[in-house]
Amino acid sequence: MIISLFAKGSILDLLEYRKRQAMEAIRAMSANQVMEASDERLQEHFLGKFDLDPLTLYLDKSEKKFEEVSIETRDSFTYDIPRGGSLTIPGVKLTLRIPFSGDANLWEITPSMYSLNHPRGQIVPLGRDGIGYLTISVSSSQHQADAGRLENDLNSQLINVQSMIGNQISNIQQFRTELSRLVADAIRERRSRAELMFGLAQKLNLPLNQKDGTPVVSPIKVERRLIVPLPPSTSTQFKAQPGITDESYELILNAIRSQGRTFERAPGTFQKFDEEELRDVILANLNTHFVDRATGETFCRRGKTDIHITEEDRAAFIGECKVWSGEKELQRGLQQLLSYLTWRHCKSALIVFNKDRAKFIELLEKAPAALRNADKLFLQDLVSNSDKGEWRMLFRSPEDDGHEVTVHLFLFNLYVESSGSDKS
């Protein structure tokens, strides 16, 4: 059926309605759902659920068709037609069939800027492959048919359609910016109410305090940008899980970064240290910055090369030190690191030292690539500082898809030419 396109409802009204829906859905979440998921996971869910997928035309896959047809005319000047009557005459039709993707409902929605001359067309809904079809056409009587005019008329319709879609996209882009801000604010407000309900002010944070003279730290988050379902709403009261704060995490990483730069400035001194000895230097530096209220030593050894912060005998932060010995070994180190971290949202550091590869620049490509290819555990790159030799990524736990682990990868260069042959 041929319809007038972009002619039914206002996109501004539709977008405002979706904003209201999103706010109502966030307010309706149970406190357990709020506390079981990170802010980022909640934002992913609601931004994905209430987003609009704009229309996209695939003109390179379009098909044209020219055919004979019968058309109805009311041209009483050319034909002997009674007043108010019509006549069926031989004609021709030029048709363009264009694949499209996106929300097919948008074919009926008027953008904020539009032409009063609405294009007409036929819409075939999206199939299982996510592709639908738009058909637009022009026709003429056979004796008046002109190829150039038919082509121009069809192109005019197509340009009108493209202009309407372009204006819709501008409206949707602005909507996404506004929705992102509204959703973030609403989630923060909903979490604040949930925390108040559960009395989490004293329970959420792991007891990690800085020594006198250093800035104070406070609560916990993990980043992710992927459409995911909300945790199920249950009658069981949420039990807060420990975790270091974002501020503490950055301070820990800064301390590791500073010590690593010291290693790099004097590679001849530290190149002869093994993994455990390098770990101990970093450990000592970390324990000059932080003190635990209970034991006096926040960062502790576990295994040969690990730096742990533990709570209830489970790791909330871990740093793993490795000397570079190839991509496979780095992936094994990642697997080991992820297996240690069993809280729902964990933060970690993987600290890698290059001691015998002269072509360090090659390792700057190999190391992050190896982690991204680690047995389907990699979820995404996270925003981090742009320091050379550092990357931040999000992984899932190999034991539980619901556990997400932030891994900050450091790659420090301790190679000195006199230390031996290059094994790169």
The pLDDT tens digits along the chain (424 residues) read 889 999 989 999 999 999 999 999 999 988 878 877 888 889 989 999 999 999 999 999 999 999 988 888 776 667 667 777 777 888 899 999 999 999 999 999 999 998 888 999 999 998 888 899 999 999 888 878 888 999 999 999 999 999 999 999 999 999 999 999 999 999 999 988 887 776 643 444 444 444 454 433 333 232 333 344 555 655 555 455 556 677 778 888 888 898 999 999 888 888 888 888 898 888 887 777 665 433 334 454 445 557 876 544 445 678 889 999 999 999 988 888 887 765 555 788 999 999 988 889 999 999 999 999 987 889 888 865 556 889 999 888 877 766 788 899 999 999 988 645 455 4
Q: How many residues does the chain have?
A: 424
Go through 280-311 and write b for each residue having 16 or more CB atoms within 10 A of its CB, e for each that does not.
Answer: bbbbebbbebbbbeeeeebbeeeeebbbbbbb
Long-range contacts of 417-423 (CB under 8 A, 24+ apart): 417/358, 418/268, 419/271, 419/272, 419/355, 419/356, 420/356, 421/356, 422/356, 422/357, 422/358, 422/359, 423/356, 423/357
Q: Is 7 a domain residue?
A: yes
Output the pLDDT for position 134: 96
Residue where a domain stops, chosen among 175, 200, 234:
175
Write out the two tokens for 15: 């977008």
Say if 224 falls within a structural domain: no
Please say whether the beta carbons of 352 and 323 come within 8 A: yes
- Could you say which of 124, 149, 175 is where a domain stops? 175
- The verdict on 28 and 140 lying in the same domain is yes
The beta-strand segments (E) located in 281-403 are 290-292, 300-302, 306-311, 314-323, 345-354, 378-381, 390-396
Q: Are residues 154 and 269 in the same domain?
A: no
Residue 270 sits in the same domain as residue 169: no
Domain co-membership, 52 together with 160: yes
- Domain range holding 390? 246-419
27 and 159 inside one domain: yes
Helix (H) or strand (E) holding 60: none
Cα-based torsion angle of the residue sequence 185, 191, 193, 194 in order, rounded to the nearest 10 degrees: 160
pLDDT, residue 150, reads 93
Specify if 228 maps to a domain: no
Same domain as 164, residue 29: yes
Is there a single domain that holds both residue 166 and residue 306? no
In a domain, 70, yes or no: yes
Does the residue 144 lie in any domain?
Answer: yes
> Is residue 44 within a helix (H) or strand (E), and if so which, with residue range?
helix 39-49
pTM surpassing 0.85?
Answer: no
Look at residue 367 and tell me if it is in a domain. yes
**Residue of 99, 35, 37 lying closest to 63 (CA atoms):** 99
Nearest to 357 by CA among 272, 415, 310: 415
Other CB atoms within 10 A of residue 198 CB? 18
Residues 16 and 161 in one domain: yes
> In this structure, what token pair is assigned to residue 404?
């997400």
pLDDT digits (tens, 9 = 90+) for 8-24: 899 999 999 999 999 99
Is 81 contained in some domain?
A: yes
**Are 277 and 415 found together in one domain?**
yes
Alpha-carbon Rg for the chain, nearest whole angstrom, is: 31
Q: What is the pLDDT of residues 81-98, one digit of tens each?
A: 777 777 788 889 999 999
Q: Residues 52-62, buried b or exposed e (16+ Cβ, 10 A)?
A: bebbebeeeeb
Residue where a domain stops, chosen among 175, 200, 233: 175
Q: What are phi and psi of 316, to 5 degrees?
A: -100, -25
385 and 284 in a common domain: yes
Query: Are both 135 and 271 inside the same structural domain?
Result: no
CA 124, 127, 132, 135 torsion-angle sign: negative
Task: Give Cα 38 distance to the centre of its chain.
Answer: 14
Structural domain total, the chain: 2
Please list, in sequence order, all residues whose beta carbon lies within 8 angstroms of the beta carbon of residue 155, skipping any fewer than 6 positions away: none
In a domain, 232, yes or no: no
One domain for residues 252 and 380: yes
Instruction: Determine contact, residues 276/304, Cβ cutoff 8 Å.
Output: yes
